[in-house]
Amino acid sequence: MAVDREHVLRSAAALLARKSTATMDEVAKAAGISRATLHRQFAGRDALVRALESLCIEECEAALDAADLDAGPAQEALRRLVKEMEGAAGLFAFLYTENQLFEGEEVNEGWAGIDARIGDLFRRGRQSGEFRIDLTPAWLTEALFGLIASGAWAVMEGRVAAKDFTFMIVELLLGGALRRE
């Protein structure tokens, strides 16, 4: 029987988003496969996390494309982006805390591209007068990432309604990022 790698990754993402300390045994069980089968797909936890990172980068890039960041006012583009990111937020939240992804000097081109595209959105908002000029695009990008991760955790833990995900993130970020007269 062939193993559906996509199913395994999605099952692992769903589990690890809820329980970041889950063992490979628990991941295999969640995917409905044996531990040996899981290890044939991923040599260990690090390989699994790297595969999840690739999946998350793909989903973030798809969200960026769907949000059409160059259309309309920057703050509306930001709203669209957060809405599009909602589906990947749980996986994003898990990866946000995986320190091994950020060790060493190596730059992950996927994350760098995502950072650049979101930074460009914040730059555009500064140039149009929508966003504060005293907050750098790099800082606003990091703040957005932190809010997405926090929002995902709050929804998963039932402290916040899922329907409020986009509103909470955008309103908090824009409340601090909007330029005031």
Question: Residue ranges per domain, the chain?
Answer: 1-42, 56-177
pTM across the whole model: 0.87
Residue range 121-153, pLDDT digits in tens = 999 999 999 999 999 999 999 999 999 999 999
Q: State the CATH class of domain 1-42.
A: mainly alpha
Percentage of the residues of the chain whose pLDDT score is greater than 70? 92
Q: State the average pLDDT for the chain.
A: 90
Chain centre distance of CA 111: 10
Contact 72, 128 (CB under 8 A): no
Tokens of 120: 């460009």
Residue range 85-135, pLDDT digits in tens = 999 998 888 888 876 666 666 778 999 999 999 999 999 999 999 999 999
Q: Looking at residues 153-172, what average pLDDT do you find?
A: 93
Q: What is the DSSP string of 59-123?
A: HHHHHHHHHTTTSS-HHHHHHHHHHHHGGGHHHHHHHHT-GGGG-SSPPPHHHHHHHHHHHHHHH
CATH level 2 (architecture), domain 56-177: Orthogonal Bundle (1.10)
Give the C-alpha separation, 171 to 82, whole Å: 11
Residue 86's alpha-carbon distances to 18, 92, 118, 130, 136, in angstroms, are 15, 10, 16, 24, 24
Chain centre distance of CA 74: 20
pLDDT tier at 17 (50, 70, 90 boundaries)? confident
In the prediction, which pLDDT does 178 show?
Answer: 64
Of the candidates 53, 54, 85, the residue with the CA atom closest to the CA atom of residue 67: 85
Q: Is 178 helix (H, G, I), strand (E, B) or coil?
A: strand
Percentage of the residues of the chain whose pLDDT score is greater than 90? 70
Give the C-alpha separation, 101 to 145, whole Å: 15
Of the candidates 64, 104, 113, 108, the residue with the CA atom closest to the CA atom of residue 87: 64
